[in-house]
Structure formats: structure tokens, C-alpha cells
A and B are shown apart, each in its own frame.
Chain A
Amino acid sequence: MSILAFRDTNVLIQGITGNAARHHTKNMLEYGTRIVAGARPGSGGEDVHGVPVYNTVAEACRRHRIDASILFIPAKAVKDAALDAMENGIRLLVIVTEHVPLHDAMEVFEEAKKKGTVIIGPNTPGMISPPENAKLGFVPTMYFEPGSIGVASRSGTLTYEFVSRLTAVGMGQSTVIGVGGDRMVGLRFGSTLKLFEADPDTRGVLLVGEIGGAMEEEAAGMVASKEIRKPVFAYIAGSTAPEGKRIGHAGAIIAGSVGTVVGKLTTLREAGIHVGKTIAETVGMMREMLKN
């Protein structure tokens, strides 16, 4: 098993006729993802690598059972496309687009909360479940192998670096999720941990974090309270970087106790998360604790 995306997950591609979308649709199909439809106003009736294209999401949803949609949509149009997908009952969205306006994101997430829609991203390479041959997004597949490690990461390139090393030492992955690099993303480390906790085939979870934000602390709270009992490992990139500038006082209040990098690492360690100082050390810890 994996989480969220499976062998039989029926996928829609919004904005399927763009160059990047065509290219990645081909890669996803080759990997085994069940892409059943595409949507793009004015392109109804066309096909992209054999996938039928409809003018609207509504029409695609009338013709097919759609479980998930991947949005290859320009930043300015993401809000309308995401609201459209939710309106039509799609319950898993992957928003790969970068530079989505903050207020647009708030509108989308408010609706997602009401409808119970899971949103991955924005600004994410997407997700992949190697045991299920399902890839929703554009992670390069060559280093991924089926296995029992769950990975959630805020950074695309760092994910590939980690996964290549995990695979090299025989630790394949159940599901790998890029949660997205924006300050405001849908699925966070906390909610991802819950999904991995419930997945019988995931033995341990790796969180690849970054300085800034509160996502790691949120996950630490769930580990500390024993809501998550599986072993959790973490690496925080940028822990030696100089402190970033804050934009204002009100922002700091809302972010809560988010303070120094040292504070973040301490919080994680005290919660019982195994934190590595480097990529190599983190992989070493995982190998040591999860062998057999």
C-alpha cells in the first residue's frame, strides 16, 4: 500500500495541452499513472498521448470517474481552476504551479477545508507511490524504488538527493510527497504523518524540512503526543544559514513561537524525531534503525 495515489487512481490533467503538461503527461503514462482525461477550454475533442481532452472539468467528470486532478495551470488562473475542480467533486488536487498569489491560495484553501479536499502544493513537484506505479506530478522516476519508507519534503531537489541515497542502500519508498515550497501549502507534514501512520506498509517516515515556517514544529507535536508512533526522521536544510529577516511584528505573532533554527532542531529532537545534521547522517540513522 501507499497513501493518496494508487494503481487505480483515475487522474485528470487540467491544462493538458501546454508544453510542460504534454511532456509530463507522457512521462506519467509511461510510469503507469492512470490518466483518464484532460481539460482545456477550446481543446475539447483533441487527445494528448491518447488521453481525451474535454472543454470543461464538468464534462470530463461526467464521462469519467475522476479521483484526482493535477493542475498544470498558469499562476494567475490556478484559483479558478482549483475551485472548478472542487466544485465538480474532485477530492485530491496536485497544484504544481509556482508563484500562486497568496490571497488566491487563501480562497482555494478555505473552500478545500469546507469540502474536505486534499491539496498538495502549490509549488510542488507532486507525489509518487512507487509500489503502485502512480506518479502525480513531475518527479524524475529513475531513483525511486518500491519499499516501505514514507517521505514528505519541502524541497524538490533535496527529495531526489535523499531518495537516490535511500534507494542505493536498499530502502525503497511507499509514497514520496513534495508538500510544496510556498509559505502556505495544503497538505503539511502533520497531515502527511497521519496518513503514513495509518498505512500498514510504511515502516518509517522521513521529513525533509527547511528553516522558516512552523510545519516541522507541528509534526513534532504529533510525535511528542504519541499520535504518531512510527519512527520519524528529519533533516532541516539551512540550519547553518543566517537568520532570515522578518517582515513585521504581526506576522511573528501569528507564526507563534517560531524562533531560531536551534529552537526548531531542539523541538524536533525533544519530541523524539531522529534529526540528522547532514543528508548522509540522516540516511545513516534510518539505515541503522530500520534495518531488517
Chain B
Amino acid sequence: MKLYEYEAKQILSGAGIPVPRGALAKTPEQVREIVEQLKSPVVLKPQTLVKARGKAGLIKVASGPQEAVELSPSLFGREHAGEVIDTILVEEKVKLVGELFLGIAVDYTGYMPVFLISPNGGVEIETLAREKPDRVRKFPVPVSQGMTEKEALTLARFIGEHWAEMNHGKHLAELQRIILCFYQVFWNYDCELAEINPLGIRDDFSLIALDGNMAIDEESQFRHPELIRPRAQTEESARQEQDFRTRGWTYLQMDGDIGILSSGAGITMAIMDLIHLGGGKPANFLDTAQMNRQGIYDAFQIFHGSAKIKVLLVNIFAGLNRCDELALGIRDYLNAFRPSFPIVVRMIGNRETEGREILKEIGITPIAGLEEAVDRAIALVR
């Protein structure tokens, strides 16, 4: 779960890392009020989960309240990578002499967080690490001991080597303190990724976090209930997202016309591959985990009202569950509704014969081979 910049900054600030003064605005009028209170030139930063706002020309600098108000209508309501801008973080403009990068990511094969630090902040760290690897220091952190004062100082000194003015006890101690606080944030908030890019250097060589990037591990959300919020844009899709989460389903909408109802991410992806290879287009990715009679009935509802679906491919491989139970779920649905599209069922596994009998009663002949079922679905679309 990605956090907005303002959420990340609140957390960083709460942990003792300096951030610019500022507040959130939902309207141009609020923008004016904030700028008047700040009494300083400001930066208008639209709050979106997808970054690269600078490149998209979405970050604006204003010298005073009037200019800020004039600029804000060009931001509110604008779309950025599918998100509609409705909130702007209005911050004092901070004068910098340099920018650092601090980041903590997870090494999934080394089973450790890795702390990354660079004297070249504000740029794409990915590119930097490729082109100038000596400008990026990586330090894997053993989680049982965490970031130690000694290691934090070593990392700070690496910056001191590249920034002569930073290479003084007082400044290094402050950077060390920020490194320690930042690791604490990463750990306490169950982050899978945290970045301060840039960590600005002011003309007195004090440090300030100008941007914050945090992604919280989805599985740890229960430890951070205060951060959970609906992330879907409409109320309808928020409800659906919540419903699927409760059920443990993963659903992704796609561009095609062949609906897929199958359980298990791997097999569903394999079905999508077969559809693509056969020249068809999947309408969705739906992984329903475990299935039962009610579950398959409910899953049918997702496709029920869809105008773009031309055929629904149902794949049942009953290893832990039973074909007859799932066939009953399909029958329940077809007794209650009349879908506008044909249904192709592939079914094998436990109590397959009984399941076939039930489907035969409602006029469906299940197919045993996965490839044949996919071919049939593609043929029906044509």
C-alpha cells in the first residue's frame, strides 16, 4: 500500500526528520489561506500515488498568495496516470545547496532490508546506480540488530567524502541521527520500500526531507489501521475492492472479451497465455483462491452485467474441493439469472462424474481438456 507524500512526511516528521512547513489544500481558497500563513514563496505539490509529477509539469512554484491561487485551478481536477488531483500539498519553498538520496528496500533473496544512500539525490537512483555505482552505497541491515549507530555513522561519512562541507562532526552527527530515525520508520511501519529523495542540504548544511515515498506491506496493514483508506477512485469500485479483499480474491480488469473464472493465480495466468496464443483477448484476471458452491455463484455476479464479455470460460480443477458442489453453484446461478453470453466449462477432479450430471441437466457439456476449452471459448467469440 503506497502512501501519499503528505502521509509519508507526517510520519517522517513525527520520527524527528525535518520536513518543510506546509498544509493540505482541497480548493484554491485553501491554497490562498495556507500561502498567507506561510508568508513565503511556496511549492504546490499535487498528491498522487504515481510520482513523476515533476516530469509531467505538475509541480508549481509560486512567489506569493496571488500567484499560487492563479496556478491552482490548472492542477485541481487534472488527471495524472489515472488519478484525479483533488489535494495539493502547499509547502514553503526551501533554498538548497545540494540533494542527497536515502532509501531502504527489501532484498527478497537475501531476506534483508538494504539501506541505500547517495550524495546525488533528486535524480533517478536506478539510473545513477547503473551509471555511477561508486556514488551509491548499499548496506544490508540484519533485522535482529537493526541499524546501529556505528553503521549509520559509516554511511554518513560516505556522504562526507563527497560533500566536503558536510564532513564535520556536527553535520555528520545530524545525518547519522536522520539515518537512524529513517530506519526506525521503515521498521516500525512495516515498509516494503521507503525513500527520501531528495534529502535537501540547506545553506547552513542542515538537512530537510523534501519528498517522502513509502509503501507499507499489505500483509501488515492490521498493525497500522490508521493508515488504511479506500484507494479506489469511485465508491462503487471501493466497495468492490473491499468485498474482494474480504473474500481473498484478486481481480484485475483487462481489455478483452473472454471472461475467466478460475481459482489459483498460476493456472489463471496459464489460461490467459493460452487465450493470447490462440489469438483471443482475456477480459479479466480473477483469482478466487478456494471455491465452494456459494463462491462460484457470487463470482458469476462479477460478469453478470458486463456488456463487453462475449463468452465466460469457467475452469474447475477440483483437487481439494468437489466438482459436484461447484456444478451446483453454476446451476444456482443459471436458475436465477439468464446471462447474455455463452458459458464454457472445463471441469476435472473430485466427483467429476457427479458434476457432469448436474451440468448436463442445465444444458452444459463440460470439457476435460484445458486447451480444448480455451479453443472453444475463442471460437465462440469469433
Contacts and interface: CB of A to CB of B under 8 A. Distances in A.
Contact of A254 (B106, B143, B254, B277): B106
Contacts of B348: 164
Contacts of A240: 272-273, 276-277
Interface in A203-218: 208, 210-211, 213-215, 218
B105 A279 contact: no
Interface string A94-105: 000011111101
Interface string B173-211: 000000000000001001011010000000000000000
How many B residues are at the interface, by size bracket?
35 or more
B294 interface: no
A138 B320 CA distance: 8
Nearest to A75: B219
Contacts of A8: none
B143 A103 contact: yes
A211 B265 CA distance: 11
A239 B272 CA distance: 9
Contacts of A164: 348
Main secondary structure of the interface of B (DSSP, over half): mixed
A229 interface: no
Given A157-B267, A250-B105, A280-B371, A106 B273 contact: no
A32 to B, nearest CB: 18
Contact of B112 (A76, A110, A278): A110
Nearest to B187: A103
Contacts of B273: 237-241, 277-278
Interface in B210-226: 213, 215, 217, 219-220, 222-223
A188 B269 CA distance: 21
Contacts of A213: 108
A139 B266 CA distance: 15
A106 B193 contact: no
Nearest to A188: B109
Given A140-B319, A156-B266, A211-B269, A249 B107 contact: no
A61 interface: no
Given A210-B269, A251-B193, A278-B371, A106 B217 contact: no
Contact of A102 (B114, B217, B266, B272): B217
Interface stretch (B88-96, B124-132, B305-313): B124-132
Contacts of B262: 157
Nearest to A248: B193
A102 B220 contact: yes
Nearest to B262: A157
A214 B110 CA distance: 12
Contact of B270 (A98, A109, A158): A158
Interface in B265-286: 265-270, 272-274, 276-277, 285
A161 interface: yes
A77 interface: no
A161 B2 CA distance: 35
Contact of B111 (A101, A113, A155, A156): A113
Contact of A157 (B103, B125, B264): B264
Nearest to B264: A157
B40 interface: no
Contacts of A188: 109
A161 B267 contact: yes
A242 B265 CA distance: 15
B317 interface: yes
A160 B319 contact: yes
B219 A218 contact: no
Nearest to A163: B319
Contact of A109 (B111, B124, B223, B254): B111
A247 interface: yes
B264 A156 contact: yes
Given A158-B264, A249-B124, A237 B270 contact: yes
B143 A155 contact: no
B39 to A, nearest CB: 35
B259 interface: no
B223 A210 contact: no
Nearest to A24: B320
Contact of B190 (A76, A99, A103, A140): A103
A281 B144 CA distance: 46
A210 B267 CA distance: 10
B47 interface: no
Contact of B317 (A75, A101, A157): A157
B254 to A, nearest CB: 8
A254 B125 CA distance: 11
Nearest to A27: B320
Contact of A253 (B116, B144, B270, B276): B116
Interface in A146-201: 153-161, 164, 181, 183-184, 188
B113 A157 contact: no
Closest 5 CB pairs of A and B: A155-B266, A157-B264, A140-B319, A158-B266, A238-B269
17 contacts: A98-B248, A102-B192, A102-B217, A106-B112, A109-B111, A110-B142, A110-B144, A139-B319, A140-B350, A155-B266, A181-B265, A218-B109, A237-B266, A237-B269, A249-B125, A254-B107, A254-B108
Given A101-B220, A158-B266, A213-B108, 12 more contacts: A98-B248, A100-B219, A103-B143, A155-B264, A155-B269, A157-B268, A214-B109, A237-B266, A237-B267, A249-B126, A250-B193, A251-B192
Interface of B: 2, 103-109, 111-114, 116, 124-126, 129, 142-144, 187, 190, 192-193, 195, 213, 215, 217, 219-220, 222-223, 248, 254, 262-270, 272-274, 276-277, 285, 317, 319-320, 348-350, 370-371
